[in-house]
């Protein structure tokens, strides 16, 4: 197991090694303990373990069973599985004590139903030689949906919202679990899980697409979108470039990294561009699965611009046709009036009606020539 000094050294000096880039991985435990329906102040505890944002197991104190969620976990040694399960049970007992103390400090009654949440984990890097180094550790608590306290690795102290100053003093005085030890344990289990999870942690190369369509907010502009998909791990960088110059991020809209159904990820970034000022745009993508960046050039085509143009032509043609019909009727009425074509009853004669019908037929013939 890594010593405390080594962990802190790695956390403090990792930013000085920009040339050393490996696979990014993470391991997090999301734990919850609830006071409702307790017996003899023994509260219900549950936890979910996430490796690279994928659930790998779950545990509940209700039945005391730890359930694997990934097939590769069945290949773990029995001693490793048992040790991991024992750690979860121990965490449940510790959180039970912390929740009990917090309810007393806040003068809360357990029958009201209160919840303590704990997020503990680490982020690391796996290098080409198989070694794993920790880059960051997370250790934070929440009470009834509000932030309670968290460990600051820069100051190496517990910190809490201003309203929880009393809690901070207690924890910095020694109350609470040792964050450095927990970081060591997280790194230890991250290495073990990555040894077994060789299939799902295998890198997957990124596919890059670029497409353009009419903007939905400004018909004089186009929306250019860069899509990177099918990649793993989830860390990826997309730059939208104009004549090989990256556009500033504040001009782009991003979907954020999202999971695909097959366990890979996707990321989409878009930008509004002027339709009447064409330029060379491309998508510049970097990912750990590829040795050189992927550059996807826009071919200058717009996926729905033609339909928008045709729709506009149809509207203009129909408008012109309507105006033409109105002019025909106007001059015809004027002609009939000059000839005294109004009947005593105030209605037009049948010749006028026939001429109007003829105008409608002409309009229909014209409309039939409009491209659909």
| 295 vs 356, higher pLDDT | 295
Question: What pLDDT score does 169 carry?
Answer: 81
Greater model confidence, 203 or 246: 246
End-to-end CA distance of the chain: 73
The label of the residue with tokens 């964050």 reads 179
Cis amide linkage into residue 191, ω under 30° from 0: no
More confident residue, 57 or 309: 57
Please give the helix or strand (H or E) that residue 98 lies within, else none.
Answer: helix 78-105
Which structural domains are found in the chain, ordered by start?
4-196 (3.30.500.10), 207-297 (2.60.40.10), 305-367 (no CATH)
Q: What pLDDT band is residue 299 in, cutting at 50, 70 and 90?
A: very high
Q: Taking CA 342 as the corner, what is the angle to CA 337 and CA 346, rounded to the nearest 5 degrees?
A: 130
pLDDT digits (tens, 9 = 90+) for 117-169: 999 999 999 888 889 999 999 999 999 999 999 999 888 899 988 767 678 88
The 3-state DSSP class for residue 203 equals coil
> What integer pLDDT is reported at residue 295 of this predicted model?
97
What whole-number percentage of the chain has pLDDT above 70?
73
* Residues 36-65, mean pLDDT to the nearest whole number: 87
pLDDT tens per residue, range 211-232: 999 999 998 999 999 999 999 8
Model confidence at 281, pLDDT cuts 50, 70, 90, reads very high
Contact 117, 179 (CB under 8 A): no
pTM: 0.66
Rg, the chain, Cα only? 34
Could you report the per-residue pLDDT of 95-122, keeping only the tens digit for each?
999 999 899 888 888 777 899 999 999 9
User: For residues 295 and 289, what is the distance between their CA atoms, to the nearest angstrom?
Assistant: 15
What is the rounded distance in angstroms from the CA atom of residue 49 to the CA atom of residue 145?
20
Residue 37: band (very low, low, confident or very high) from pLDDT cuts 50, 70, 90: low
What is the arithmetic mean of pLDDT over 263-284? 92
DSSP track, 111-144 = GG--EEEEEEEEEEEE-TTS-EEEEEEEEEEEET
Q: Other CB atoms closer than 10 Å to residue 92's CB: what's the count?
A: 21
Is the distance from CB of 50 to CB of 56 less than 8 angstroms? Answer: yes
CB 289 within 8 A of CB 272: no
pLDDT at 215 (0 to 100)? 95
When pLDDT is cut at 50, 70 and 90, the band that residue 237 belongs to is very high
Stretch 251-259: mean pLDDT: 95
Q: Angle formed by the axes of helices 78-105 and 179-196, to 10°? A: 150
* Statement: residue 322 has pLDDT above 80: no
């Amino acid at each position: 197991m890594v010593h405390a000094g080594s962990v802190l050294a790695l956390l403090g000096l990792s930013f000085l090694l920009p040339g050393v880039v490996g696979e990014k991985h993470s391991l997090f435990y999301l734990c919850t303990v609830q006071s409702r329906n307790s017996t003899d102040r023994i509260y219900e505890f549950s936890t979910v373990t996430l490796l690279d944002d994928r659930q790998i197991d779950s545990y509940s104190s209700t039945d005391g069973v730890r359930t694997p969620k990934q097939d590769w976990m069945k290949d773990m040694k029995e001693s490793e599985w048992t040790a991991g399960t024992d750690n979860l049970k121990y965490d449940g007992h510790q959180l039970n004590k912390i929740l009990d103390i917090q309810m007393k400090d806040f003068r809360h009654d357990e029958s009201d139903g209160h919840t303590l949440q704990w997020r503990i984990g680490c982020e690391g890097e796996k290098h080409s030689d198989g070694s794993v180094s920790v880059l960051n550790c997370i250790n934070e608590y929440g009470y009834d949906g509000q932030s309670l306290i968290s460990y600051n690795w820069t100051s190496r102290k517990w910190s809490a919202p201003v309203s929880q100053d009393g809690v901070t003093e207690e924890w910095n005085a020694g109350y609470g679990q040792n964050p450095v030890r927990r970081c060591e344990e997280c790194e230890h289990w991250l290495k073990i899980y990555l040894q077994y999870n060789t299939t799902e942690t295998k890198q997957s190369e990124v596919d890059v697409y670029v497409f353009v369509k009419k903007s939905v907010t400004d018909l004089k502009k186009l929306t250019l979108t860069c899509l990177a998909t099918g990649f793993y791990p989830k860390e990826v960088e997309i730059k939208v470039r104009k004549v090989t110059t990256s556009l500033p991020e504040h001009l782009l809209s991003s979907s954020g990294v999202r999971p695909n159904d097959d366990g890979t990820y996707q990321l989409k970034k878009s930008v509004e561009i002027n339709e009447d000022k064409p330029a060379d745009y491309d998508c510049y993508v970097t990912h750990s699965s590829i040795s050189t960046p992927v550059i996807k050039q826009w071919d200058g085509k717009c996926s729905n611009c033609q339909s928008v143009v045709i729709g506009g032509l149809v509207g203009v043609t129909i408008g012109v046709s309507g105006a033409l019909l109105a002019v025909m009727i106007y001059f015809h009425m004027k002609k009939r009036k000059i000839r005294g074509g109004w009947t005593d009853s105030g209605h037009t004669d049948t010749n006028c009606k026939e001429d109007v019908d003829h105008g409608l037929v002409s309009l229909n013939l014209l409309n039939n020539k409009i491209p659909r």
